[in-house]
Chains A and B, each alone.
Chain A
Amino acid sequence: MMLSAAKALCARDLRLLWRRRGDALQPALFALLVVVLFALALGGEPQALAKVAPAVLWLAMLLAGLLALDTLFRGDAEDGSLEQWMLAPVPLSWLVLVRTAMHWLTTALPLLAATPLLAELLHLPRAQLPVLMVSLALGTPLLSLLGAVVAALTVGMRRSGILVALLALPLYVPVLVFGAGSVAAAAQGLDPWGALLLLGAGLAVALVLAPLAAAAAIRIALG
């Protein structure tokens, strides 16, 4: 039952993505814009950019993900699909997990694919790119899961844009710190794996707890 529901939800989301495939590029375009703006504000000098490149890239990903959070539950809340999920024979937390995973696939994966290009724009030293990619690969799902809890708390609210950001950003701090910090550690010649493993551990915990919290939040918000 849970597997068939997951398969149905995945198929649905992939179909929906295909019907609106133009929209899928928007997070990546936003991240690109953020990078451009940072480069312009900082003066475009390669040395200066290279020093801040990991932080700027992490921020661009984080902010793009934050904006994309709006589409996680909004569509399903507005047309009544979330209600039907609450009434389904499978746990709501399971559906939330599958939905968040699909959302990450459709919004963060293009971002990850664009990262090497964006890194080049900021003159990120080549040696730091692998660590950056691993930190993003571990960090963006974690951000999606934490964001899902916040999005669930505010589902059904009409003008929730800034509020979602204000609620989510304090929760994002550890992920940002360990993510960008791992690259900074590698740049200093230190071992980045401590921070990366912490991100991994956080991801493992969040995979279990975040859907439960988000499901509880949806029940509170819609009930």
Chain B
Amino acid sequence: MPPTDTSHPPLLAARGLRFARNEQPVFGPLDFAVDAGEALLVQGANGAGKTTLLRVLAGLLRADEGHIDVDGQPASPALRARAIAYLGHLPALKADLTALENLHFLCGLHGRRRGQLPGNALGIVGLSGYEDTLARQLSAGQKKRLSLARLWLAPAPLWLLDEPYANLDLEGINLVNRMVQAHLRDGGAALLTTHGAYAAPPVRTRMLQLERPA
């Protein structure tokens, strides 16, 4: 495993992060950081705030208190767009477009990692042969793989993955772990949420346990 590069600021750093909805605290205060080449596993029971935390980090929600730094600078929409790729519960796939058309659109929107092509990405996630299948006709697991293909094509170094193992069979789980491993090897970082520890990637991982605040 590559040694920690301590001369660079962490890709993501959160200090004193707190979030409440309708006056009920959801999580906080949280302090953590994710360096390049590292994975952070966020664990917690249902309702502990894992999804909310990821959405706050991605910039979809605003934290009530605290700071988020991306790549050493205060998080701004432009910075987040460059540095973060977010895989949420909803796959962001259009049912009436084929797998390849979906990837083409998302690459047009977010940009594409150099040296990667949508066709190759489909092969990596095990969907070769499904280029011209409408997303509507894919199974839940195949849709998840298509989302992973989109993730693979994203140019951003930090991956925020919300329940990446959901809907996947054992082979799919291995795929996610392989992808995370390769991504970390290339200098990226990943933050994953999961229910249980069984599906942890075989990389240097830190754990963050979320509990419902009292």
Complex interface: chain B residues within 8 A of A19 (CB):
96-97
Mark interface residues in B60-103 (1 if CB within 8 Å of A CB, else 0): 11100000000000000010111010101111111111000100
Q: Are A79 and B59 in contact (CB under 8 A)?
A: no
Q: Are B96 and A20 in contact (CB under 8 A)?
A: yes
Binds A, one of B29-37, B108-116, B183-191, B192-200: B108-116
Docked complex Cα distance between A89 and B112 (Å): 12
**Chain A contact residues, majority secondary structure:** helix
Docked complex Cα distance between A83 and B91 (Å): 10
* Contact A87 to B60, CB < 8 A, known contacts A8-B108, A12-B105, A80-B91: yes
Residue A42, interface by CB 8 Å: no
Docked complex Cα distance between A85 and B90 (Å): 13
Q: Which residue of B lies closest to A7 (CB)?
A: B108
Complex interface: chain B residues within 8 A of A83 (CB):
60, 86, 88, 90, 92
Complex interface: chain B residues within 8 A of A79 (CB):
90-95
Complex interface: chain B residues within 8 A of A7 (CB):
108
Q: Are A8 and B81 in contact (CB under 8 A)?
A: no
Residue B168, interface by CB 8 Å: no
* Contact A8 to B105, CB < 8 A, known contacts A86-B60, A89-B82: yes
Q: Are A12 and B94 in contact (CB under 8 A)?
A: yes
* Contact A84 to B92, CB < 8 A, known contacts A8-B104, A16-B97: yes
Q: Which residue of A lies closest to B160 (CB)?
A: A87
Complex interface: chain B residues within 8 A of A1 (CB):
111
Which residues 79-117 in A have Cβ within 8 Å of B in the complex?
79-81, 83-90
Residue B173, interface by CB 8 Å: no
Q: Are B94 and A84 in contact (CB under 8 A)?
A: no
Q: Are A8 and B109 in contact (CB under 8 A)?
A: yes
Residue B48, interface by CB 8 Å: no
Complex interface: chain A residues within 8 A of B84 (CB):
87
Contact for B78 among A80, A89, A222, A223, CB less than 8 A: A89
Complex interface: chain A residues within 8 A of B86 (CB):
83-84, 87
Interface size on B, residues (CB 8 A): 30
Q: Are B88 and A12 in contact (CB under 8 A)?
A: no
Residue A188, interface by CB 8 Å: no
Closest Cβ of chain A to B108, distance in Å, is 3
Q: Are B59 and A4 in contact (CB under 8 A)?
A: no
Closest Cβ of chain A to B42, distance in Å, is 19
* Contact A88 to B81, CB < 8 A, known contacts A5-B108, A8-B104, A83-B86: yes
Q: Are A80 and B90 in contact (CB under 8 A)?
A: yes
* Contact A86 to B88, CB < 8 A, known contacts A4-B108, A5-B109, A79-B93: no
Closest Cβ of chain B to A6, distance in Å, is 9
Closest Cβ of chain B to A29, distance in Å, is 21
Residue A121, interface by CB 8 Å: no
Complex interface: chain A residues within 8 A of B107 (CB):
8
Q: Are A86 and B59 in contact (CB under 8 A)?
A: yes
